[in-house]
Amino acid sequence: MKESNKEIYQPGERGSTPSATGNGDKWSESLQSFFELALQNQGPERTAQLLEDFGEKLRSAPRPNPKLTTAYINTISPASQAPYPGNRDLERRIKSIIRWNAMAMVVKANSNTNVGGHISSYASSATLYEVAFNHFFRGHTDAFPGDIVYFQGHAAPGMYARAFMEGRLTEQQLQNFRQELAEGGGLSSYPHPYLMPGFWQFPTVSMGLGPILSLYQARFNRYLQARGLVAWKEEPKVWAFLGDGESDEPESLGAISLAARENLDNIIWVINCNLQRLDGPVRGNGKIIQELEGLFRGAGWNVIKVIWGTDWDDLLRRDKTGLLIQRMNECVDGDYQKYIVEPGSYTRKHFFGKYPELLELVNHLSDEQISKLLRGGHDARKMYAAYKSATEHKGQPTVILAKTVKGYGLGEAGEGKNISHQQKKMNEKELREFRARFNIPISDDVIADTPFYQPPADSPEIKYLLKQRRQLGGFLPARIFQPVTLDVPKPDHFTEFYRGSAREVSTTMAFGRLLSILLQHKGISKNIVPIIPDEARTFGLDTLFREIGIYSPKGQLYEPVDRNTLSYYHESKDGQILEEGISEAGSMSSFIAAGTSYATHGVPMIPFYIYYSMFGLQRVGDLFWLAGDIRARGFVLGATAGRTTLNGEGLQHQDGHSLLHAGTIPNCLPYDPAFGYELAVIVADGLRRMFVEHEDIYYYLSLYNENHPMPPMPEGVEEGILKGLYKFKAGPMGLGIKAHIFGSGSIMQSALKAQQILAERYGVFADVWSATSYKLLRNDALRCQTWNMLHPTQPPKKSYVEELLQNEKGAFVAVSDNVRTVPDQIAPWVPGGLLTLGTDGFGRSDTRARLRRHFGIDAESTVIATLYALSEKGLVKPAVVEQAIKDLGVNPDKAQPQLA
Ligand SMILES: Cc1ncc(C[n+]2csc(CCOP(=O)(O)OP(=O)(O)O)c2C)c(N)n1
Ligand SMILES: [Mg+2]
C-alpha cells in the first residue's frame, strides 16, 4: 500500500512538477488536503481504508491498465536519487575504450570472415553494465560466493572487451572472436560455459532461458540456505540482464510471479529497453516500458523505471503545465525511435512542437543539444540510483526498466535503425566518427584496421578499473570450480536390487525405492534434490511428501486436508522436495540450478527430476540443451515412458522418442533400463562419475509404469549395462536355428516371450539381450570408425558392440517401445544387419495388448520379425514366416501406423 501510494504521488513529490492534466495542481492540492485531513481526523488505518475504497472504484473505472502503470517518467525522483560515488570521467573513459574494443572485435572478425557478431546490443547497454561492474557486481571471495550474473547473450563482445582491459583475455583471443577453432583458440560467440569453462557461468543467448533460469536460481539460493547447506554472511544477488524484445518469449515472463510469491528480494532484473529487437521496434505502437511495468507490478514486483537522463530533470522541473509528462505519455515507441535517427530539429518540431509551451521550454537548447538529451539507461547517475535502490529493496524482486538507444554511438552506421541488430561492418568514415565521439586515441593511418586499444597498465583508467574490481571481490564473469567430492554409495549398497523381486513392480516403482534408499545414505542424503512438476502421485512418490517435506519458504500456514494420512501434503520451510507445480520449464530450471550448484556455490547437489516423459525433451528441449552447455549434473527421469506402455492417455501423452531427443545432447547419457538392477547400476555409476570423478555429464533415464517381475542380476553384466548392451538370457542350447533379440524397457517382456515361442514352436534358439543404451553404443562405434578412417594403415579398432557381437550367428532383431530410429542407431555395426521394431507414428488410447499389436512390437510380432529376418538370410523358408503369421493370429493386412 505504502509503496503504491509512493508511485501514485510521485509526480507531485517533485514539488514543482504538476500532474499531467494541465490544471492538475488544484486537484493534486485538494487530494493532498483531503489526505492530510483524513489522516488527522480518522487516523492512518481508516485513511488507508478510504484510499483502498477509492482505489477499488478506480480499478473498475474504464481506463487502460488501471493503477498498474505510472507516468512515463523515472521512478526515482531527482530529490531521492542517491549521489554518484565514482569518478565519472574515468569511468566514461573506460566505458568508451570498452565500447571501441567491443565494436572492433566484431568489425575485425567480419573483415575477413563471415562469422557475424553483434555490436548494437552492447552499444545500447554499456552503461548498464559499467555502472554495475564498477559499483555493484560482487566477485567470488573466500567469504562470499559472488553475485550471480546473467549477461545478455548478444552483449558478449562488451564482456570480452572488459576482460581484455582487465588483463584476463589476450589480444589474440579478441582477434579470434567467433573463431574458436583458429590457432591459439578463440572466443565463443555467446556465453557458453561448455566452451569457456573458466569464464562463462550462465548461457543466455537462447532468448528467454536466462530470465527463467535466473528466477529459479534465486529461489534455489534460498532453498540452499533454508536447508542449512550454505551459511552465507551476505546473500549473493542474482542479476539478469535481458533485452526488451526478449520479454516476448513466454519463458521470460511466464514465471515472474514465483519471484514475488516467494519474496525473492535477492533478484534484480535489468531490462535493456532499447525499444528494438532484430527486425524493428518491440512495441512501435505502444510503449514496452509501460507494458512491462504493468505486468511486473501486477505480478508483485518492485518496478524502477529509468527513462530519462539527468538533462531532462531540469526540463521536467521547469515545466509548470504538466504538458511535458503528457507529451512523454502520449508518444509511442515508434516515435521515440524516430527521434533518435532524425536530427534535433525533428524532435524540436515533432516532440516539443506539439504544444507551444513545450517549444518554449526548450528555447534555450540548440538542435544539437536536443539531439543529445540522454535517455536514462545511458546516464550513469540514473542507473546508479536505480541499482542502489534495487539492491536495498526488501521483500520483493526488482525489475529495472532502462530506456536506451540500440546501437548507441554508431551514428549513421546504425544508431536506432531497424538494421541496427545486424550491423557488423563499419566503413572508415563511420569508424572515424565513432573514434571522435568516444575520444579513442587511434591514429588516422591505422583506423581502417580497427585496432584494439589497451591503455598502459599504469594508466589511470586501468588502475581505476582494477581497483574497483578488487574492492568488489574480483572479476566477473568467472566460473570457479573447486571440486568437492561426495561420499557416494558404493555398488554394494544396492544389493536388494541385484537380488531382484518376485513381486511384480514397474521401473518407476523401483526408482521410488532407489530414491528412498539414497535419501537414507548419510554421504549424499542432504545433497539430493527431488524435483517434481505436480506428478508425484502419478509416480507413487507422494510418500516422500511426509518423509522429507516440500520446500516452502512460508512453511505450512494451513492444516492440510489429508493430515491424517501417511503421505499428507507436507510443506515445510526446510522441505527437500521442489514441487514445481505444472511447469516443466520451471522444473528444468530448478534441475539446472541444482545441477550446477557444484560450480556456482561449490556445493554439489544431486537433482533427480522426474516427470511425464512426453512433456520434457520435446516441450522444453532447449533447456535440456542448455543443461549440457552449462555442465549440469544429475538425473532426469522420463517417467510413464513408452508409446504403448502408457496406454490409455493417447496421442499427446505417449512418448516413444525422448531417447532420440536426449541422444542429441552431446553430454547427456540416455538409458532405457528394463529392470531394477539395471537402474541401480546406472545410478550408482552416475553418482560416481559425476560427484567423485567430476565428469560434466547428466543422465536421461526412461521409467515405465508396467509391473513385471524383476529378475536377479546375472553375473558380470555391470559393464554391459553401462556400455549399453549385454546378453541377458541366452536361448536354449542345441541344434536350433540361432537368432538374437535386443529388448529394452518394458518391451523386454515381449522379447522374452518371443524367445520362448520361437524355441517352442519354430525351433529357433534366440538369445535375448538387454539394450540399455543404443546411443552410447553408437557413440563408441563412431569414435572407432572415425579413428580407423583417419589411421587407415594401422590395425583397426573395434567398438564395444562389434566386439560383443562378432562371434554371434544368425539374425538380429531389436524391439522397443520407441521409434525405430532408436535401435537403428547401431544397425551399421550389427553383423548381417538389424531388423528393428518400434512405435513410429502417433500413439492412441487403448489396451497395451492392442497397442502393441498395432505397432507390431508384441511378442507375436517379434516372433514373426525374427523368422522374417532369418528367412532373409535363407535360414528359414518364407513359408515358415507365413505359417507363423497365421498361427499367431497377426493380420498381414492390418492398418499400419500412419507415417507421412
Ligand atoms: C529463442 C531465440 N529466438 C530468436 C533468437 C534470434 N535473436 C537474436 S537477438 C534477437 C533480437 C533481440 O532483441 P532484444 O531482446 O530486444 O535485444 P537487444 O539486442 O535489442 O538488446 C533475436 C530475435 C534467439 N537468439 N533466441
Ligand atoms: Mg531490444
Render pLDDT for 409-435 as a digit per residue (tens, 0 to 9).
Answer: 998 888 999 888 888 889 999 999 999
Ligand 1 neighbour 420 (Cβ under 6 A): no
Q: Write down the pLDDT at residue 7.
A: 37
Q: Is residue 121 in contact with ligand 1, taking CB distance under 6 Å?
A: yes
277 C-beta closer than 6 A to ligand 1: yes
Q: Which atom of ligand 1 is nearest to the CA of 206?
A: 26
Strands (E), 361-516: 398-403, 501-505
Which residues share a beta bridge with 501?
710
CA 243 to ligand 2 center in whole angstroms: 5
pLDDT the model gives residue 32: 82
Residue 840's pLDDT band, with cuts at 50, 70 and 90, is: very high
896, exposed or middle or buried, with CB in 10 Å at 0-12, 13-18, 19+? exposed
Could you tell me the distance, in angstroms and rounded to a whole number, from the CA of residue 716 to the centre of ligand 1?
A: 52
| pTM for the predicted model, two decimal places | 0.93
- Can you say whether the dihedral through the CA atoms of 498, 504, 510, 513 is positive or negative? negative
Pocket lining: 206 vs ligand 1, CB cutoff 6 Å: yes
Residue 63, pLDDT above cutoff 90: no
Ligand 1 centre distance from Cα of residue 166 (Å): 28
CA of residue 247 to ligand 2 center, whole Å: 9
Distance CA 254, CA 577 (A): 22
Q: At what angle do helices 878-887 and 859-872 cross, to 10 degrees?
A: 170
Q: Mutation test of ligand 1: which of 278, 292, 337 has the most ligand atoms closer than 8 Å to its C-beta?
A: 278
What pLDDT does 46 receive?
A: 85
State how far the Cα of 474 lies from the Cα of 624, in Å rounded to an integer: 31
521 confidence band (pLDDT: 50, 70, 90): very high
Cell representation of residue 639: 517417467
Cell of 744: 529394452
Distance CA 328, CA 214 (A): 32
Q: Quick check: helix, strand or coil at residue 606?
A: strand
Residue with the smallest CA separation from ligand 1 atom 20 is 277
CA 416–ligand 2 middle distance (angstroms): 10
Substitution site in 274, 279, 421, 424 for ligand 1 pocket (most atoms within 8 Å of beta carbon) = 421
Q: What is the pLDDT of residues 175-221, one digit of tens each?
A: 999 999 998 889 999 999 999 999 999 999 999 999 999 999 999 99
pLDDT at residue 708 is higher than 60: yes
The finding on whether 274 has its CB within 6 A of some atom of ligand 1 is yes
Residue nearest to atom 19 of ligand 1 (CA): 121
Report yes or no: 327 and 352 within 8 Å, Cβ to Cβ: yes
Q: Residue 711 contacts by C-beta under 8 Å, 6 or more apart in sequence? A: 500, 675, 677
- Residue 816 Cβ inside 6 Å of ligand 1? The answer reads no
The amino acid at 752? L
**Ligand 1 atom 13, closest CA:** 277
pLDDT at 23: 54
In this predicted structure, the answer to whether residue 65 has a pLDDT above a threshold of 60 is: no
Average pLDDT over residues 350-370: 98
Q: Is 246 near ligand 1, meaning CB less than 6 Å away?
A: yes
Q: Tell me the chain's radius of gyration from C-alpha atoms.
A: 32
Burial classification of residue 144, based on how many CB atoms lie within 10 Å of its CB (0-12 exposed, 13-18 middle, 19 or more buried) = middle
Interatomic CA distance for residues 681 and 491, integer angstroms = 7
Kindly report the protein residue whose alpha carbon is nearest to atom 8 of ligand 1: 278
Q: Is 244 in the pocket of ligand 1 (CB under 6 A)?
A: yes
Beta strand 737-743 with 764-771 is parallel
Q: Which pLDDT does position 59 carry in this prediction?
A: 60
> Which bound ligand lies closest to the C-alpha atom of 120?
1
Residues present in the chain in total = 900
- Measured between alpha carbons, how far is 848 from 631 in angstroms, rounded to an integer? 38
C-alpha cell at 751: 522379447
How buried is 498 (Cβ within 10 angstroms: 0-12 exposed, 13-18 middle, 19+ buried)? middle
Enumerate residues 6+ apart whose C-beta is below 8 A from 719. Answer: 726
pLDDT surpassing 60 at residue 292: yes
What is the helix (H) or strand (E) element at residue 725, kind and residue range?
strand 725-729
Ligand 1 proximity of 858 Cβ (cutoff 6 Å): no
The string of DSSP codes covering 431-444 is HHHHHHHHT----H
What is the atom index within ligand 1 of the atom nearest the CA of 242?
15
- Spatial distance between the Cα atoms of 541 and 529, rounded to a whole number of angstroms: 13
User: 590 near 216, Cβ under 8 Å?
Assistant: yes
Contact present, 187 and 177 (Cβ < 8 Å): yes
- Minimum-distance ligand 1 atom for the alpha carbon of 152: 21
Q: Is the CB of 210 under 6 A from ligand 1?
A: no
Q: Which of 428, 470, 466 is nearest to 449 (CA)?
A: 428
Q: Is the predicted pLDDT of residue 278 greater than 70, yes or no?
A: yes
Q: Which 3 state secondary structure label does DSSP give 673?
A: coil
As a whole number of angstroms, the distance between CA 578 and CA 636 comes to: 14
Dihedral over Cα of 22, 26, 30, 35: its sign: positive
Contact between 532 and 548 under an 8 Å Cβ cutoff? The reply is no
CA separation for the pair 108, 399 (Å, rounded): 35
283 Cβ closer than 6 Å to some ligand 1 atom: no
For cell 505519455, the residue is 329
Question: Which residue type, as a one-letter code, is found at position 550?
Answer: I
Nearest residue to 203 (alpha-carbon basis) of 479, 519, 501, 495:
479
Terminal CA-CA length for the chain: 59
